């Protein structure tokens, strides 16, 4: 009789562990890195050998989108598979002491993996709310070492001696496992931030591998978001401060790749690298590149939302493959759910799995995409066609030079009217074909109206701190 309870306990414990065939996942997301910033995406300035090696060993996407071109909103999409305005967090970079955050009823990738028995960790920039109920332990992460929001939300400004943010922001804290554990006090701390995040990521991988545990590691790096920092091995030694910071990030990624190899888990690990949005172009030599695309961060032009995506999964994803499939970061959740055999989120999501693309079973999984900013639909895409609806936007074109190296230049506000672009022939969105293609315009306007109605019908409450 006493054997039955023991067998029941063993069953429960076994069910809490992932299947032996379930892959580990390392998801790395840089901050404000542009489409044109990696060597594998055409950069001639930045030295990114580890990320370029990742591209030769995995699949590189050329039409991957951040769901909104701003920090918090993009992270909401990546972590939940939802358009961020569905969850009340569109168009925002949450400030310190925010009363808003990702609602506890939403299941992040951390929660989905932990429910499947994985060990979960986030190391880097969180930015989904800094109240205790919004921090990583409340969203499925067993371990966490984070700064709670962007690294410019501190009193020391964008460069040494900058007084512009001194009265606007408090000190910048670090949190470990939900507890405040120190501060970023000075520029030396900023220079060491990327290395620290890389070393802590490597330790987590080693610990899990040596315990024989499957793991999900999310590494949202704090940089190359300004203010830039770089370790002494790179600082002052590159063509630009941005290139130095990116070299530091590349080394951290290389350390993660090396640790996976040393612990003999690389073949059982899906390794993903992407960016949260396009480059913050008004920072001059401290900014990245959108390559041939128009505008940058904070816009719904391609330069603001089209970003790198590289996925390596040995023996599952063809090495060196390049895909032009339309994919977005809200599609990562359903893709990993399918790839790792997770239980899907309980609430509806907007993403679509692109696992068939990774496996070479299909050339595409979605043909449509909606470009929201805040709660506005500013553009929609079907296939090669992109329609901008009339809206005002931030423009980086024809800016004056920054007043000081590291300081932001002055941007402008402009207005775009109804405009249709062929993204295959005109990826820079310069030739308006609306007058020549009225039926395409009409179809895309109908699609936008239907999407507006669909999202409005499914909106859920934003998280609120007590």
What angle in degrees, to the nearest 10, is found between the helix axes of 332-340 and 71-80? 30
Going by their DSSP bridges, the two strands 119-125 and 215-220 should be labelled as: parallel
Name the residues annotated as catalytic. Answer: 71, 127
On whether the CB atoms of residues 308 and 37 are closer than 8 A, the answer is yes
Residue 214 burial by CB count (10 A; 0-12/13-18/19+): exposed, middle or buried? buried
Q: How far apart are the first and last CA of the chain?
A: 49
Backbone dihedral region for residue 182 (phi beyond 0: left; psi -120 to 50: alpha; all else: beta): left
Helix (H) or strand (E) holding 114: helix 109-115
CA angle 22/25/27 to nearest 5° reads 160
Residue 169 is encoded by which pair of tokens? Answer: 């922001």
Distance CA 383, CA 325 (A): 10
Give the burial string for 121-145 (b: 16+ CB within 10 Å, else e): bbbbbbbbbbbebbbbbbbbbbbbb
Distance CA 282, CA 279 (A): 9
Distance CA 324, CA 205 (A): 31
Residue 405 is encoded by which pair of tokens? Answer: 């190296």
**183, 201, 203, 249 from 258: Cα distances, Å:** 29, 12, 12, 14
On whether the CB atoms of residues 49 and 268 are closer than 8 A, the answer is no
């Amino acid at each position: 009789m006493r054997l039955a309870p023991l067998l029941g306990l063993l069953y429960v414990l076994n069910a809490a562990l992932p299947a032996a065939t379930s892959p580990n996942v390392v998801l790395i997301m840089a901050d404000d890195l542009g489409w044109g910033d990696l060597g594998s995406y055409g950069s001639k300035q930045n030295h990114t050998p580890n990320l370029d090696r990742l591209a030769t060993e995995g699949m590189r996407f050329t039409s991957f989108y951040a769901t909104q071109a701003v920090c918090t909103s993009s992270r909401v999409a990546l972590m939940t598979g939802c358009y961020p305005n569905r969850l009340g967090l569109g168009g925002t970079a949450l400030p310190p002491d925010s009363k808003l955050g990702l609602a506890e009823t939403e299941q992040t990738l951390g929660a989905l993996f932990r429910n499947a028995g994985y060990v979960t960790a986030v190391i880097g920039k969180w930015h989904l709310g800094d109240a205790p109920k919004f921090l990583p332990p409340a969203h499925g992460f067993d371990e966490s070492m984070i700064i709670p929001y962007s690294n410019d939300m501190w009193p020391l400004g964008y460069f040494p001696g900058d007084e512009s943010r001194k009265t606007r922001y408090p000190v910048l804290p670090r949190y470990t496992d939900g507890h405040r554990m120190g501060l970023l006090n000075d520029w030396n701390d900023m220079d060491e931030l990327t290395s620290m995040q890389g070393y802590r990521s490597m330790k987590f991988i080693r610990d899990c591998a040596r315990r024989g545990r499957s793991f999900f590691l999310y590494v949202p790096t704090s940089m190359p978001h300004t203010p830039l920092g770089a370790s002494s091995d790179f600082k002052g030694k590159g063509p630009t401060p941005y290139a130095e910071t990116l070299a530091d990030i590349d080394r951290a990624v290389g350390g993660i790749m090396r640790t996976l190899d040393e612990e003999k888990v690389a073949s059982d690990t899906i390794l993903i690298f992407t960016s949260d949005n396009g480059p913050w172009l008004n920072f001059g030599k401290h900014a990245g590149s959108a390559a041939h695309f128009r505008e940058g961060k904070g816009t719904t032009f391609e330069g603001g939302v089209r970003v790198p995506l590289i996925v390596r999964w040995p023996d599952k994803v063809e090495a060196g493959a390049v895909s032009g499939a339309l994919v977005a970061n809200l599609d990562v959740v359903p893709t990993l759910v399918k790839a790792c055999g997770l239980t899907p989120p309980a609430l509806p999501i907007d993403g679509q799995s692109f696992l068939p693309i990774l496996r070479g079973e299909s050339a595409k999984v979605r043909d449509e995409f909606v470009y929201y900013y805040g709660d506005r639909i500013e553009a929609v895409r079907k296939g090669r066609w992109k329609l901008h609806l009339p809206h005002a936007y931030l423009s980086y074109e024809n800016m004056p030079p920054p007043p000081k190296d590291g300081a932001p230049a002055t941007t402008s506000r402009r207005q775009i009217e109804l405009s249709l672009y062929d993204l295959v022939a005109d990826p820079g969105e310069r030739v308006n074909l609306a007058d020549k293609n009225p039926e395409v315009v009409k179809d895309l306007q109908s699609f936008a109206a239907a999407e507006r109605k669909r999202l409005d019908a499914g909106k859920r409450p934003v998280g609120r701190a007590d």
